[in-house]
C-alpha cells in the first residue's frame, strides 16, 4: 500500500510539502518511531473519538497518553473511543490502525496537543503501516489550520 489517496490528494491540492519515509511495518505510532529511528515526541499518534454528534480526531505525541477528561473539558462534549469498525469506515482508504493525524481531508474535526506543535518537525502515519510522512511543524499546522491546539496529553 502507499499513502492514503485522500490524504495525498489533500496535501497536493494545498501545495504542502512532505517527505515519505519507509520502515518495517509496525502496530503502533511509538513502534513506528522506533523502527524509523525518530524521536517519539515528534511522532504524531491519532486517537479517534466520537459522541452522539460526530467524530473528533485527537492528535498527541507517541510518547504521550490522551487525557480524555481534558478533551471533554475543552469541547464541552462527552466522548468514547471509536470501535475498529467505525475507525475503518471513517478512514476507509487507510490500513486498519494507520490513521493519519490530519482529519480535515476526511471531514473530521481535529484537536492537536500543544506538546507536539512545539516540535520543529512532525512524523506521522500515512495510512500505511510501513510508510511515514515527515514535515516541518509549520506545514503540519497549515494542513490542520482549523485544528484546536491545546494540552491534551500527558507523558507516558
pTM: 0.95
The Cα 3–Cα 118 span in angstroms is 25
Domain that holds residue 151: 5-155
pLDDT tens track for 79-131:
999 998 999 999 999 998 899 999 999 999 999 999 999 999 999 999 998 99
Q: At 77, list the grid cell.
A: 462534549
- Cα 44 to Cα 13, 76, 152: the distances in Å are 22, 24, 13
The Cα 84–Cα 135 span in angstroms is 28
Residue 151 has pLDDT above 90, yes or no: yes
**Domain count across the chain:** 1
Per the CB < 8 A criterion, the answer to whether 31 and 40 are in contact is: no
pLDDT at 67: 98
Closest of 154, 152, 156 to residue 110, by C-alpha:
152
Average pLDDT over residues 141-156: 95
CATH number at residue 35: 3.90.960.10
pLDDT tens track for 27-55:
888 889 998 999 999 999 999 999 999 99
Amino acid at each position: 500500500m502507499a499513502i492514503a489517496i485522500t490524504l495525498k490528494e489533500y496535501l497536493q491540492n494545498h501545495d504542502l510539502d512532505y517527505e515519505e519515509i519507509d520502515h518495517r511495518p509496525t502496530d503502533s505510532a511509538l513502534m513506528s518511531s522506533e523502527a524509523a529511528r525518530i524521536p517519539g515526541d515528534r511522532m504524531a499518534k491519532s486517537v479517534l473519538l466520537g459522541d452522539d454528534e460526530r467524530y473528533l480526531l485527537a492528535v498527541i505525541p507517541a510518547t504521550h497518553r490522551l487525557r480524555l477528561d481534558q478533551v471533554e473539558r475543552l469541547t464541552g462534549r462527552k466522548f468514547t473511543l471509536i470501535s475498529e469498525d467505525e475507525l475503518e469506515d471513517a478512514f476507509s482508504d487507510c490500513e486498519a490502525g494507520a490513521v493519519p493525524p490530519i482529519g480535515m481531508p476526511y471531514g473530521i474535526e481535529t484537536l492537536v496537543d500543544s506538546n507536539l506543535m512545539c516540535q520543529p518537525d512532525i512524523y506521522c502515519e500515512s495510512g500505511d503501516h510501513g510508510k511515514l510522512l515527515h514535515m516541518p511543524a509549520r506545514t503540519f499546522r497549515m494542513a490542520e489550520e482549523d485544528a484546536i491546539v491545546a494540552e491534551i496529553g500527558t507523558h507516558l
